[in-house]
A and B are shown apart, each in its own frame.
Chain A
C-alpha cells in the first residue's frame, strides 16, 4: 500500500450526497492500493456512517456540513465521519436475529451492527460543541479478533 495525504470532504447533509462520498472514498482506497474487499468495506462503512450523519443532522434541522476524512498509513485505512446532529439513544445492537421472528423492530438499527461487522475497529465519540465523530479503521488482510 501507498501512504497518501489525507482526503477531506465536506458535504451538505442531504441523502443525494452520500453516493459522492462513497465514490471518493472508494477511489481513495483504490489509489492507496487496498485490496478489492477492503475497498468495498470502505465504501459500505463510510456510506453507513454518512447516512447516519445526514439523518441526525436533518433531525436537528441544521444545515451544517458532514465532515469526512480518510487516510492510509501502512496497512491501515482510517475514515472519520463527523456531524453536528442530534443522536437519539444508540440503536440496540442485535447479536442474532431469530429467523422465524416477525418482530422487525430491529430494522432501523442495522447500521451500527453492519459497521461493526465490516471494519476492524470502530469508535463513536461525542464532539466538543455537539455532534458525533465516528472513527473506523480497516486493516488489510484477515480481520483481527
Chain B
C-alpha cells in the first residue's frame, strides 16, 4: 500500500521509476519529484510506470500538471506503460493522445534494441 519512487539520469533524460500505488495519498510525492526535476532544468522526463499496480485520477492530474510544467520549459514528459489495466485509464480519459506513450523504458529513451 505504498509508492516507491526513484529518480535517475540516463543520458539526457531524467527517469522517474515508480513501483506501487498512485492515489490521493501517494501522488503528492510524484508531484514533488516532477516539480524538482523541472525546476532543476530537466527537459526530457520519462515516468516509468511498468511496476505501478494502481493509478487513479489524482495520479493522472499530477502527470498532466507535470506535462504542462515541462512543456513550458520546452521539454516533454514521456510515459512507459506496459499494463492493459493502466493503459485503459489513459484511454477512458482521452489522455492516451496527450502523452507520448512507450512500451518499454528503452523505447522511451530512444535506444535501439540490444543485440542478443
Contact = CB atoms under 8 A, between A and B. Distances in A.
A15 B25 CA distance: 5
A47 interface: yes
B57 A48 contact: yes
A54 B24 contact: yes
A84 interface: no
Interface residues of B, number: 24
Contacts of B60: 107, 110, 114
Contacts of B24: 15, 18, 51, 54-55
B97 A18 contact: no
A117 B71 CA distance: 28
Contacts of A15: 23-25
A124 B42 CA distance: 42
Interface string A48-87: 1001001100000000000000000000000000000000
Contacts of B65: 104, 107
Interface in B46-78: 54, 56-58, 60-61, 64-65, 67-68, 71
Going nearest first, the 3 A-B pairs with the smallest beta carbon separation are: A117-B92, A97-B94, A99-B97
13 contacts: A37-B85, A44-B54, A51-B56, A51-B57, A51-B58, A96-B94, A104-B65, A104-B68, A107-B61, A110-B61, A114-B89, A117-B92, A117-B93
Interface of B: 1, 21, 23-25, 54, 56-58, 60-61, 64-65, 67-68, 71, 85, 89, 92-95, 97-98
Interface of A: 15-16, 18-20, 22-23, 37, 40, 43-44, 47-48, 51, 54-55, 94, 96-97, 99, 102, 104, 107-108, 110-111, 113-114, 117-118
